[in-house]
Chain A
Amino acid sequence: MSVSEYPGPSIGQFPQADEALAGKIEHQRKEHLNLDPRPAEEMNQMVLDPMYRTSRLLWMTLMLTGGLVVAYGVTFSAQMWYGLGITGLMRPVMWGPYIVNLVYFIGVGHAGTFISAALRALKFEWRRPISRAAEIVTVFGLMCAAAFPVVHLGRSWKVYWLIPLPNERMLWPSFHSPLMWDFMAISTYLSCSVIFVYLSLLPDIAMARDHSKGWRYSFYRALALGWRGAEHEWHNLETAMNVFTYGIIPVMFSVHTVVSWDFAMAIQPGWHSTIFGPYFVIGALFSGVGAVMIALILLRKLLHLEYYLRKEHFNGMAMFLMILSMAWAYFYFNDYIVPWYGNGPVEKVIMTLFAEGWAKPLWYLMLFSNIIVPLGVLWNSKWRSNLTVLFVVSLFVQVGMYIERYLIVPGSLSLNEIPASWGIYHPQVPESLITVATFGLLVFAYVIFTRIFPMIPLWEVREGQAMHGLRKVGQALIQTKSEPD
């Protein structure tokens, strides 16, 4: 099939076209997915094919990460059996990597909603093909995070005491506690995200149903809820998506603010800060956009989605990452200078710890990974479109943001007002293993999901392609866009 046979803007649209114009049109189609539609069946197959075929590399990934998931369960069971003493936690560092992981994985789960909801509300057109991949990072990131408040408990089997259910013992959870706010915020965000993902999946599941047989057919048929693509269905979907888009944005901002309150509400020096709310939100978006970037690069490579995921998408994400790096640096500066100027005795010791103590290498590595690497690389548009470079930068951001949370939790906790109770936390095997295994769990769940569900929101892409066109005004070729009614 030649290029001119594809639907969408082409040379035939312009009667007095010349060679130069044809080149320009070709260039525009190559750059923008929205201007490069292909026949529906071809686009369907590009999404469905990698879903049905599991490569050897993916099988190996599944086996490795599945092993990690088993290790997670075994370690957690051992911890419950022997007590938290098998971890490195001690007085005064009562919260360690488990809480770091909680904050980190909620952060990872932040960008998905931002990309799909905020960019949708603001009508960023390039977000169309990446929204599903980002939302799934959100859903599984949040699930991984939600496990940690349970894993870190001294008596994990009593966690249901925190559920406000009327019971014969006349007990009720205390809503004075930031942990309860956290519990509420995470469960709200998780349920909203799951519904949001499911809504946007409906037309794609129906498409998969129409292209499958056997167990997949029955499975998709049940999940598609009888979607036929009638006009009123599209209309209802649009309305529901709009409600969730605008509803989930404040939830997203509140969740990480509430997570930051776990720390900011405490009077522990280094935690007791009013800037923690926005600072945590920006940090979460920063690490989250990095995580989505990693997921997109891997998806493009492993599922052969080169048609859908183009330079423009990675360029947009990279610019985002750069802006977030600047915003994070600004907030970090704020969080640092206020206690420094205030000159509180314990805050002073904590800053000395960062600049000279055991935390020195971590602190400098964090500043290097979060500020110098992203800002030093992403200003260059050539590097912004080089996927290897982007992958490495995103990994640096993950490392930097993990260290940032590590310095906040076991770092600050090691120092307090009573010098006789200072102590340094040393990570031990169980919590390190569970931390690594959680990354495994995230990848495992993600890969399983890509085996079952379309990773590109096809209907959104085709909606975008239907809305976009090219027009010649004078000598200039401009993109046009129509709005659905």
Chain B
Amino acid sequence: MGSPYKWTMVIDMDKCTGCGACVVACHAENNVPIRTELDVVQGRGMHWMRTENYWVSQYPEPQTYFLPMLCQQCHAAPCEPVCPAYATLHSEHENVNVQVYNRCIGTRYCQNNDPYKVRFFNFYDPDFPEPMNQQLNPDVTVRSAGIMEKCTFCIQRIRRGEEQALVEKRPLHSSDVQPACVQTCPPGALTFGDLNDPNSEVSRLSKEVGAFRLLENLGTDPSIYYLKGGKSNVS
């Protein structure tokens, strides 16, 4: 029983300003632990969504571009087969790469085999001091120490969209679902939708001239398309 949907995100790098609103939205939506400055320097920072900053040229004509990076939701994901506990696997229902937190035993093999390095390990138990514990999203598990986590394409929002469609007795439409990062992006650089729907925005954008997917040579079949024109947006 395959899924009729193929959830896809298109990221227009020419529109991205590197503001980081998507990162904040993701933290808030998915109860992603907030690590200290020291932890981040030590490489234990946890951002399911991050903006990578690449410098193209230096002073006197500095040019940079931002690459919003998140789990690429590969359809042939290298992280999936290496898990000995079936904690990360492809869900038949949503057709995304899911992480089952309570099944994870923390071998961290998935992170090693993940070419995009978008998986995050809980080195410590998460700490949400008062009053931040009040803003935790009840739809998302708070993960404990010793397990791996990553972007889920806001699977709780996909589920909610499905339930809403079920109640209204209509098929789920591509525009019913919006992950937190897409909803929040101020310049509208992120677009989310169903690639199997030929009329959706992502179907149109993914066929644009400047569209590419990251590390396509690895054959991972990612669900994230990037758009990049000739010029950097910051110059």
Contacts and interface: CB of A to CB of B under 8 A. Distances in A.
Contacts of B78: 266-267
Interface string B74-89: 0000100111111000
A337 to B, nearest CB: 22
Interface in A136-180: 149, 152-155, 158-159, 161-162, 171-174, 176-180
B43 A155 contact: no
A155 B146 contact: yes
Interface in A419-452: 420-421, 423
Given A84-B106, A159-B105, 4 more contacts: A155-B147, A162-B84, A177-B81, A183-B84
Interface string B118-138: 001111110000000000000
A178 B81 CA distance: 9
Contacts of B50: 420
Interface in A81-107: 82-85, 89-95
A91 B43 contact: yes
A3 interface: no
A85 B108 contact: no
B124 A82 contact: yes
Contact of B105 (A82, A161, A266, A421): A161
Interface stretch (A43-51, A377-385, A410-418): A410-418
A84 B115 contact: no
B113 A155 contact: no
A84 B103 CA distance: 18
Secondary structure dominating the interface of A:
loop
Interface residues of A, number: 42
Contacts of B215: 417
12 contacts: A83-B123, A90-B44, A91-B44, A92-B43, A94-B108, A149-B107, A154-B104, A154-B105, A155-B146, A176-B82, A268-B115, A423-B43
A171 B113 CA distance: 23
B44 A180 contact: no
Nearest to B80: A176
Contact of B146 (A91, A154, A177): A154
A178 B82 contact: yes
A306 to B, nearest CB: 47
Interface string A51-95: 000000000000000000000000000000011110001111111
B85 A95 contact: no
B124 A83 contact: yes
B121 A84 contact: yes
A155 B121 CA distance: 12
Contact of B117 (A85, A91, A172): A91
A174 B44 contact: no
B105 A180 contact: no
Given A154-B121, A266-B82, A416-B115, A179 B109 contact: yes
Interface in B1-59: 39, 42-45, 50, 52-54
A418 B86 contact: no
When A and B form their complex, which 5 residue pairs have the shortest distance between CB atoms, in order from nearest?
Answer: A154-B106, A90-B43, A154-B146, A85-B123, A421-B117
B109 A413 contact: no
A321 B78 CA distance: 39
A185 interface: no
